[in-house]
A and B are shown apart, each in its own frame.
Chain A
Amino acid sequence: MAVTDSLSRAATVLAAVLLLSFGSVAASHIEDQAEQFFRSGHTNNWAVLSLVLSPRLECSGAISTPCNLHLPGLSDSHASASQVAGTTGARHHTWVCTSRFWFNYRHVANTLSVYRSVKRLGIPDSHIVLMLADDMACNPRNPKPATVFSHKNMELNVYGDDVEVDYRSYEVTVENFLRVLTGRIPPSTPRSKRLLSDDRSNILIYMTGHGGNGFLKFQDSEEITNIELADAFEQMWQKRRYNELLFIIDTCQGASMYERFYSPNIMALASSQVGEDSLSHQPDPAIGVHLMDRYTFYVLEFLEEINPASQTNMNDLFQVCPKSLCVSTPGHRTDLFQRDPKNVLITDFFGSVRKVEITTETIKLQQDSEIMESSYKEDQMDEKLMEPLKYAEQLPVAQIIHQKPKLKDWHPPGGFILGLWALIIMVFFKTYGIKHMKFIF
């Protein structure tokens, strides 16, 4: 009895010791104070759109699909100086849809509709990184192929002519997303897949998919935690990759994703609080899935009224989708942001107006008229001499057609087969004993 007593006491002591040790390790993860550094004005806008899909149909979290990063053009607050028109910051957008599978159609539709309205406001594709995790338009279950609708009765096809998806399908991973944000991209990545923002850029990051308390699910197999996201933003801040950042997330328990941010100049909006689900808007009987999520639907209605010259500010965006319409309570976080939200225009992030100056001076150049004439004659002669290459000669077609297939390397049998055989042999020897080994060797 004494032994059992001591046993139980020892067990509690041990548990306490272990808990303490792990607790101290966890404490080291508490973030420090961020340095505050004010920068007036911004030079360009970027958007990162990502969709994250969650498994429950009603939940508006979506698995991330790669969304094109849109970098909006340069824009500042509206021009007032004498020679200068427009603003100087560039806008950069990152749109990430993290959801996979047909029933997460609404996440792709979310991302594409906001992408469309942002492009309407003037942001070029070179400034947008769009990440879509799955292809809904060409999904075999789509009754209307090559379309993605965002309204009931198929009113609006958001999969138009000029949708440029930068990261698609299995390229949308947490690693790629973090690489895009922090800029730690392998050197062979093309320009369209990079977030080329600088210290004057305003960045908009939109994520949608399936989320939970403190994480966002990517591709149904991995997740990004709010701490990783906060650390990624801190890395962006340290390298001054943004001037101001707007983070919009439309998932279940979305507010948990922005709880851990600690870098300055970040404003965050979420579609639901911790413990709440974000709901989808409406199903379409013809397509058979829910078309959009509520929060994004109302944000979209809000954006439809914005034009490049509008003066609406962020406080209006915070009022979008109250609880009566959205069922969940949208939240926002502005304590890290330097400016007052009522002074922040929507077009500071969503629109794009470049700073422009009139050129008033020229430099004097000497005219070389004789050279001009002779070069003109040379050009004419060159044109006659040049013959266009025939198509067939440009590629070594014969060589390509008659290539032999490469031999595949031999690999030893995989772990599963080995494990299965080991199990069979073990069972055999257990039943019959070791003396039967001699029958094998």
Chain B
Amino acid sequence: MALKIVKGSIDRMFDKNLQDLVRGIRNHKEDEAKYISTCIDEIKQELKQDNIAVKANAVCKLTYLQMLGYDVSWAAFNIVEVMSSSKFTYKRIGYLAASQCFHESTDVIMLTTNQIRKDLSSPNQYDTGVALTGLSCFVTPDLARDLANDIMTLMSHTKPYIRKKAVLIMYKVFLKYPESLRPAFPRLKEKLEDPDPGVQSAAVNVICELARRNPKNYLSLAPLFFKLMTSSTNNWVLIKIIKLFGALTPLEPRLGKKLIEPLTNLIHSTSAMSLLYECVNTVIAVLISLSSGMPNHSASIQLCVQKLRILIEDSDQNLKYLGLLAMSKILKTHPKSVQSHKDLILQCLDDKDESIRLRALDLLYGMVSKKNLMEIVKKLMLHVDKAEGTTYRDELLTKIIDICSQSNYQYITNFEWYISILVELTRLEGTRHGHLIASQMLDVAIRVKAIRAFAVAQMATLLDNAHLLTGNTQRNGICEVLYAAAWICGEFSEHLEEPMATLEAMLRPKVATLPGHIQAVYVQNAAKLFATVLRGQEGAPADSTVAQETSQLLIDRLPLFVQSSNLEVQERASCILQLVKYIQKLQQKDVEVAEEVTALFAGELNPVAPKAQKKVPVPEGLDLDVWINEPPSGSESEDEGRKSKGKAVFAKDESRHTKPRYTEVDEKELAKRREVRKAEQANNPFYIKASPSSQKVYQDGVGVEHIPVVQIDLSVPLKVPGMPMSDQYVKLEEERRERNKADKKKKKDKKKREKGEKGRRRRGDSGPESEEDITPAHMVDIVTEEMPENALPSDDDDKDPNDPHKALNIDLDKPLADSEKKLPVRSHRPDEVLKSPMEDRQVVEVVPEPKKKTGKEKKEKKDRKKSKEKKKKHKQEEEEDLMGAGSEEPVQPEETKEVAAPPPASTPEASDLDFWLSNAPVPSNPQAAAAPASTPRTASGMAAVAPDSEPEEAKDTEPEETKSSTHKKKKQKKEKKKKKHHHNHSDGAGDESVQNGTVEEEEPLPPMSNYALLAENSYIKMMKQDADKVCDIQGNLQDGSQVVVSVIFENKCDSFIKSMEFNVLDSLNSKLQRPDGAGPHDGLIVPFQLPPGISNEARFIFSVQNIVMPQKLKGTLTFIVKTDDSSTHEKLDFKLHFTCTSYLITTPCYSDAYSKLLESGDLKGCSLKLEGVNQPFHHLLARICFHHHFSVVERIDSCASMYSRSIQGHHMCLLVKTADQTVSIDAKCDEPGLLGNVLDEIKLTFSQC
């Protein structure tokens, strides 16, 4: 034997191994791809060989090629083979390959379940370890569900090496299978106090990761973490815990107060920078969470800022970076403390390191004031010019705009300066932020009325020089600016000095190369300009030919746009073209048209807040989901198409294009409403009042007289020649300020002189001018954005509904219910039932199951009320007498148990937290820390009494519900497994081997199904309808006498089938389980309806007393067939056949337990021979596994041992051997009758194929 192996390996040793492959690739630098493709061919050959060592070598090479970017998913099955090798060497190679290239949609993953389970329970800790590591990379929801229990067991393994891996992988399991969180959590919590530091660290890691996403569920762990923080010396653990506290403090300010002192101590004492930094970070989080007013706050802030300054000044760039990062967090709440370090931050702007410059930029946001804004922006503009690389420049650009526009342009004193900055920014090459600049231009032009004239002039220049922006294809992003320019010039065309020139610029042929949405704006605004031009020309005494020429210009140029491929452009252009043609006709008749044309575009546009539409409250009594008219069938898709198109057109800047016109409402009504609203707002303390001027704007449609009075400061010229103007503004601004100051001084001096000697002390007023002294150049009126009346303030606009962590938002303090003690099983079927399309259209029938649920819910509600009252009482008592409260403990949790989601403070542990947070003194040294830590312990000790007594109680109160729900869950697990087999038939790739785990052959298995035809309606053609039933019968492990039957109902006709009722004539031995109160002959209502062509599955539970014999039950299904004009009652008879196989449950068994079982001698034997079976052995095994619910224990060549268990706990063992088309099965079972029947059924299975 050994010789053979050696011989084999000598043959192999000239095979390429990984090193040879790498060497080969390095030697074929020129034709690497070609070389690798020959290597892949070799690998394919190697994978076909039987020798597992060769395969492992091939897989190892594939792992390397995967890293180089080659898709190796085709070898997934071989990887599974290598994974299941018994040798650690190969197993490790297999798991490594799997972890590199398996993912959720790899089909063969489902073949690995049993193999992984086997490895997890391997006596060799490294087999287990390697399996855990691999699993952590490719765990799927199915694997998580099937293996959660095994992994949970491993969390208490004797070896810390396994424990820490098991603890760590639980996080992945939770993510994929959230139901496992609650049952596993107590054990996870235990691991926080594991004697091994590695395990402890892993547990901290997992809980921190969980708590980061849903912090409020983990508040009750704060005392435990606090203890760890004061006792641990492991910096990794400390960092994690401190980070966790940073996430918890916003929810519980009292926790922050408690934390400050130990954290400050750590800051002072630690030498590890990483720890120091995290401490500072958390202290900052604490300070943010605490409301101001605590006396020693400023000391803490000072400490933080001071430490951060040290970091920033450090020569180590990493520390500098982190210091700036943390500084930006302080900035949000304590800008003053940061502002004193402005010098340092401005210095960082010049750092050679881009990361650091970016961080410094973030900080600048908070540093600006009216005084220094221009100066800072000037500096940034310099950086923009110097910057290399578009990312940094884009970042600068957004920062400039952020800084300037922050808090409603609070710091801008001169909007002309801002507009010119924006115009300068348009000259950036290759920026992606054209739309950002554009929206700023629009925003400023619309909201700052005083600036319009200036803005329009600038925009006209931009339009004139459009070729500069569009000339280079790289500058595509920037042409968005033209969108804004065209719109501003059109909308505010009355400010244009030379509207004709601008009109001409907007109609140049080059415009047709711009993106469609910009062209559309061009066309529309050309029309607006046209109106303005006409009015100007007609007003003048000049002859009408000029006006006609203008029309002719449009008529000449517009056809270009009519040909546009963009529908929007086309439509607008042809519309306007016809209009202009008509106008020209009128002009030729010497009719004055300017008035009418202008009227087309009359009216003021008010800015609307971006979320305004969303915030319009739904009026009472209006149900938006109700059909206004019954929808004609088939028209929906068309509707949708139109809708989505509409969206695309108006998606851009919808806030600016919605013209709020109130034509339907007459003036009186409007006034009345306004009065009411005003009164409301005046009484509402939460209403943020806008400046009075902005209110006025809203009131007047045209509002000419309300355009704010512009106090034109003569020192600021309205037009500055040349392009780069912003600098000149800076200069001008400085001069202006100087002059203002001088003026003031003069005034003051005058006053002083008048007042005499009193003001003497204040002479030499050279100190820095205060903010208030800077008067804006323009009295600007910044119009606030409109919001609908009664807008509902809501902050949940930005939540991502797809976050996987949402599912992990589970209350962990609630004591485990009886049904949760074991790991629950993912429920998926009920959802499907709910999704049945019928339910959208018709009223849901009352089905037994939901009824139960709603009843339960009601009960829960009641309970909740009760417990709330009790809780209140309880809390008070606790405050008065902590020990006395303990006596009530045992009662209370029973009440809270049924509460769906009690607020965190209500659970016993949370009240411990309250106690811990409120009473315990802050420990100043580790010894003192022991005291508070032990108090909550005793309290939780008292609470721990409660759950012990509670299961009984729970059973008493609602035995039915809890029991049946456990059953249901178990059953669903089974079902899901089955279902998967069913679904995957089309794939045909031996998925059935899931259950036996021995997958060495590659040939695909023939499809198999456990679903058998139950009955079919005979008069198909006559009635044009048909219901066809297939069923699958499964035993239920949970209760020794229950069998679950899944029936698929399929509607084959083209009418609705509803009101299905399923009934079975009970026999002495088996009975259909009916809901309470139903008679023994009542049918069960099938909880769904079937539209044509739809199939759905329902389950029925039968109780069986004797499982030794197969049995048959007669039944009927009654249903109503609903056609368009009539409905008929139909009925279908069927026979339900309960085979003995259906009482068996696939139960994995390990070889040692199996051999013990055989040795015990309790089992009686029986045997069977099958002749002429000409299918491969693994097919045969798969068949037995699949149809008869066995699992393979061990397989050696053409011999396999298999195991199964009946629902009543009978063990059944098979030894299957094959030789020359003869299969002999030796079977042993402790119930000979059952065994005989099962064997007969196996025989039948093979005789059928």
A and B are interacting partners: no
- Residues of chain A at the chain B interface (Cβ within 8 Å): none
Interface residues of B (CB under 8 A from A): none
